[in-house]
């Protein structure tokens, strides 16, 4: 299984912190965010990783190189301007191939074991598998619910938050137009309503490092 790290965003809510530093290179507990992901992917047995870049892309490309310092083969999918999540994945499909792949937001920090992704398969024509977490303060209403059979639903008494960790079948993005800016949420919602997406609840350490306050909190939480 290949993996994709989504690293093209501007990180505007980080203010001055991302003026000269792309968000994936911000440091959490002494390491760049993207460094944590690459270490974990290597430990989980992944070999081929695709990273999409747009904002301050040169800095990210220089930092990751060819991936050899992590024992990985890294391919870069460059975007002239950030294409949003679905658009970025569509642009990178040529590197990801025709088998299900893992996709991870660069701007999260967690102790989720990426081996769980490598060992997971999509059953019964499912197009994706999402890792959900309990709702953080900044997303109290959540995003999706999980039914007893593991299928996600938009209509749940208890909605959970999408962690930014997933597996997708490349066919899920095949009808999108390459090069367009396309958000993931509406496409996911349509697929969930058709019962095409499965999921799991992860209750370990997880943080969306979306604001300077959250970055500070996770660095203080030793």
pLDDT in tens, 58-88: 999 999 999 999 999 999 999 999 999 999 9
Rounded to the nearest 10 degrees, how much is the dihedral formed by the CA atoms of 107, 58, 27, 33?
40
Rounded to two decimals, the pTM is 0.96
Structure confidence by residue, pLDDT tens digits, 134-159? 999 999 999 999 999 999 999 999 99
Distance in angstroms (rounded) separating the CA atoms of residues 131 and 81: 27
Burial of 140 (0-12, 13-18, 19+ CB in 10 A): exposed
What angle do the packed helices 33-43 and 57-64 form, to 10 degrees?
40
The answer to whether 120 touches 48, Cβ cutoff 8 Å, is: no
Q: Under DSSP, is residue 167 helix (H, G, I), strand (E, B) or coil?
A: strand
């Amino acid at each position: 299984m290949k993996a994709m790290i989504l690293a093209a965003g501007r990180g505007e809510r980080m203010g001055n912190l991302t003026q000269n530093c792309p968000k994936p290179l911000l440091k959490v507990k002494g390491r760049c965010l993207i460094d944590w992901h690459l270490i974990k992917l290597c430990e989980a047995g992944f070999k081929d990783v695709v990273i999409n870049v747009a904002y301050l892309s040169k800095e990210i490309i220089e930092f990751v190189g060819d991936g050899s310092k992590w024992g990985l083969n890294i391919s870069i999918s460059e975007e002239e301007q950030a294409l949003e999540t679905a658009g970025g994945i569509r642009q990178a499909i040529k590197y990801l191939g025709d088998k299900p792949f893992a996709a991870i937001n660069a701007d999260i920090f967690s102790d989720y074991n990426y081996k769980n992704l490598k060992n997971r398969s999509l059953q019964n024509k499912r197009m994706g598998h999402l890792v959900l977490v309990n709702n953080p303060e900044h997303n109290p209403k959540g995003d999706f619910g999980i039914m007893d059979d593991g299928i996600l639903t938009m209509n749940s008494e208890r909605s959970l938050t999408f962690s930014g960790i997933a597996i997708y079948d490349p066919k899920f993005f095949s009808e999108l137009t390459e090069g367009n800016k396309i958000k993931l949420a509406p496409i996911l919602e349509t697929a969930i309503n058709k019962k095409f997406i499965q999921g799991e609840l992860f209750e370990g350490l997880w943080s969306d490092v979306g604001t300077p306050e959250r970055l500070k909190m996770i660095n203080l939480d030793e």
